[in-house]
Chains A and B, each alone.
Chain A
Amino acid sequence: MKALCWHGKEDIRYDTVPDPEIEHPRDAIIKMSCCAICGSDLHFFDGFMPGMKSGDVVGHEFMGEVVEVGSENKKLKVGDRVVVPFTICCGDCEQCRRGNWSVCERTNRKKDLGDLTFGHTTAGLFGYTHLTGGYAGGQAEYVRVPYADVAPVKIPDGLTDEQVLFLGDIFPTGWQAAAQCDIQPTDTVAVWGAGPVGQFAIRSALMLGAEQVIAIDNVPERLDMARAGGAITIDFDEESVLERLQELTAGKGPEKCIDAVGMEAHALRSIDSMIDRVKQAVMIESDRPHVLREMMYVCRPAGTLSIPGVYGGMVDKIPFGALMNKGLTVKTGQTHVNRWTDDLLQRIADGQIDPSFVITHTVGLEDGPAMYKTFRDKQDGCIKVVMKP
């Protein structure tokens, strides 16, 4: 079959690889009908994600038709149309039973690496680093889904792939980012990053009742899309984020701050970001936490920082004094996708939101390698790339 494979920094190839097979009775094989490039895929594309191996099949946003089912899988049958969450969950461990799907204790088959890196293992993830299991990903014609009797979400007829594809990651990720803020009707929610997750966080915050949603980015098309979703926008190339946020909140700061940027902040004009770049280049800091610093400084006391943006390792010069003295609450983590999928699928079916608004480019899988660069460099107004086999 054909698949997109990682071969090194900025080196994604459209390769021929062996077809996946059922390896465990709970498995299923999915024939991919639609997949996407996620912002977190750019971390390995840019060479910042440790634990990648040449030839890894990448991608964790995908859906398709079930074409083969293991003998113990009672949930799926051949012909089912499913969206597959990016987290692999066993459904049996204590964390899965608590609904903490993204920290499933069993599905990271490279548990030792996870323990060593993070202290404790987290869930296995599709198409990502071997720190999270090294499972083959979904940017491929066929995908083996382990524990396929747990996480995959069956899709009813009448909804297009484009409407439901993002249930596997970015829609629940944006939703969780807003939901864990415990938004009150008088709250201002500031969202750093108007990429795909930021766009969903903006709309989620609005749907959950925020009085004011503010989006911070410097890409005009993304700011346009954020405004369309109801946000006030700040272009950090044109104005001071801190001053503008103070203006918009009567000097009090936003009650809720969402970091939809993560480890590769591009605020090149700020001094701390430049220092981060130098440190990253000489490998004494793995991530660039400009957004974290800015959120801690600007957030209203007793506010909440919600961090769906991916961080991979060590960050420096975090103003923990501001965090502590202002009594800020930090909520973060990979998304517990299955906590939200039933609810969000129903909202899509009800017509409350059509997630396909975020798609800006639809291409064949063979064009994927080029689209990684287009997406990374935000060329041609690129916000979200969907690929089809």
Chain B
Amino acid sequence: MSTSTSHPLSRVLPNRPLGPMRSPARALGWFSIGLGLAELAMPRRLARIAGAPNLPTMTRIFGLREIGTGIGILTSKDPSPWLWGRVAGDALDVATVGAGLVTRGRPLRTLTSVAMLLGIAYIDMQVAQKAPPARKLEKRSSRDYRSRSGFPRSPTEMRGIALKPSTPMGRTAGSAATPMQGSPVQPLVQAGEPTSSVLP
């Protein structure tokens, strides 16, 4: 039967990154989201700290770009394009912040920010170059659990065995979904009955 359930919760994005470069890529993804949120929340302050031009609208747009890139890295089966997208974004950031040499009177601060951005760009490139496409990775381990049922017979034969009055294994089941007759459930205490409260 074909159905067409569509609910926001079921919206499927591509798979998350896998492989040996997964951790650095994921770290960059989260860094991207964090930086993007900061750019959205306090663009003027960030521009002042970085010695960049005071362009709050553009900074917020850059913030959205960072968040989008971060989500892409974290959720993509093949994060490489998103990582290269970060590198391209880094170039844009360097150019924008570098303009602060003209518009801001704090060249040392601006140059420091540019140097940091170049460092981040270098890391982005390293991770992007080494991140293998997920389609080349083997998701399955070499272990084989296809015969591990835990049952003495096929699952079909074991269906409902706990409800049968007597089982092929000689077990008398009784009320399997309720506590056993012999379980150590005691009668409730009577009202007013003294109880010990000693804790070990």
Contacts of A224 in B (CB 8 A): 144-146, 148
The answer to whether B16 touches A230, judged by C-beta atoms less than 8 angstroms apart, is no
Q: Which of chain A's residues 339-389 have a Cβ closer than 8 Å to chain B?
A: 339-343, 346-347, 350-358, 360, 379-381, 383
Query: Most chain-A CB neighbours within 10 Å: which of B3, B150, B180?
Result: B150
Query: Most chain-A CB neighbours within 10 Å: which of B3, B158, B186?
Result: B3
Q: Which of chain A's residues 191-218 have a Cβ closer than 8 Å to chain B?
A: 199, 203-204, 206-210
For residue B11, which residue of chain A has the nearest CB?
A271
The answer to whether A352 touches B167, judged by C-beta atoms less than 8 angstroms apart, is yes
Q: Mark B27-68, 1 if CB is under 8 A from A, else 0.
A: 000100100000000000000000000000000000000000
For residue B139, which residue of chain A has the nearest CB?
A220
Bound: A92/B9 CA distance, A: 46
On chain B, the number of residues with a Cβ less than 8 Å from chain A's Cβ atoms is 65
Beyond A24-B198, A293-B9, is A350–B145 a contact (Cβ under 8 Å)?
A: no
The answer to whether B176 touches A208, judged by C-beta atoms less than 8 angstroms apart, is yes
The answer to whether A106 touches B199, judged by C-beta atoms less than 8 angstroms apart, is yes
CB B16 to nearest CB in A, in angstroms, measures: 5
Kindly specify which of B82-90, B93-101, B188-196 makes contact with the partner chain: B188-196
The answer to whether A225 touches B176, judged by C-beta atoms less than 8 angstroms apart, is no
Q: Which of chain B's residues 150-200 have a Cβ closer than 8 Å to chain A?
A: 150-152, 155-156, 158-163, 167, 169-171, 176-180, 182-189, 195-200
Contacts of A182 in B (CB 8 A): 177
Count contacts between A and B, CB distance < 8 Å.
210
Q: CB < 8 Å: which of A179, A207, A281 contacts B158? A: A207
Query: Most chain-A CB neighbours within 10 Å: which of B75, B185, B196?
Result: B185
Contacts of A138 in B (CB 8 A): none
Q: CB < 8 Å: which of B1, B9, B75, B187 contacts A242? A: B9
Is there a chain A Cβ closer than 8 Å to B135's Cβ? no
Q: CB < 8 Å: which of A26, A203, A230, A274 contacts B200? A: A26
The answer to whether B195 touches A93, judged by C-beta atoms less than 8 angstroms apart, is yes
Bound: A355/B151 CA distance, A: 9
Contacts of B188 in A (CB 8 A): 94, 97-98
Bound: A106/B33 CA distance, A: 46
23 contacts between A and B (CB under 8 A): A99-B179, A99-B183, A107-B199, A179-B177, A208-B162, A208-B163, A209-B159, A225-B148, A229-B151, A241-B10, A242-B10, A243-B10, A268-B75, A269-B13, A270-B9, A271-B11, A294-B9, A294-B10, A338-B184, A342-B183, A353-B151, A358-B148, A381-B143
B contact residues vs A (CB 8 Å cutoff): 1-5, 7-16, 30, 33, 71, 74-75, 139-152, 155-156, 158-163, 167, 169-171, 176-180, 182-189, 195-200
| Given A230-B158, A271-B9, A357-B148, 11 additional A-B pairs, CB 8 A | A180-B177, A207-B176, A225-B148, A229-B150, A230-B151, A237-B15, A269-B15, A270-B13, A347-B162, A355-B150, A358-B148
A contact residues vs B (CB 8 Å cutoff): 23-24, 26-27, 91-94, 96-99, 106-107, 109, 146-147, 150, 178-180, 182-183, 185, 199, 203-204, 206-210, 220-222, 224-225, 227-230, 237, 240-243, 246-247, 250-251, 268-272, 274, 278, 281, 290, 293-294, 297, 338-343, 346-347, 350-358, 360, 379-381, 383
